[in-house]
Structure 1
Amino acid sequence: MSPSSERFDALAAEWERHCEEHREASNPFVFVQHPSFESLVGLGRAAVPLIIERYRHGSVFWGAALRRITGVTTFGEGVVGDLEANRRGWLKWWDAHQAEFPG
Structure 2
Amino acid sequence: MPFRPGKGALARIESYYYPVRIIKRNKKHGETNQTWTVVVWRGCKLVEEAGKQISVAEENLVDELWDNQTRRRQIRLGQWIHAYEVPNEEDILLDNRHYPYTPR
- TM-score w.r.t. length of structure 1: 0.24
Tell me which of the two structures has the higher relative contact order, counting C-alpha pairs closer than 8 angstroms and 6 or more residues apart: 1
The structure whose residues are more often strand, as a share, is 2
The structure whose residues are more often helix, as a share, is 1
- TM-score w.r.t. length of structure 2: 0.23
Which of the two has higher C-alpha Rg?
Answer: 2
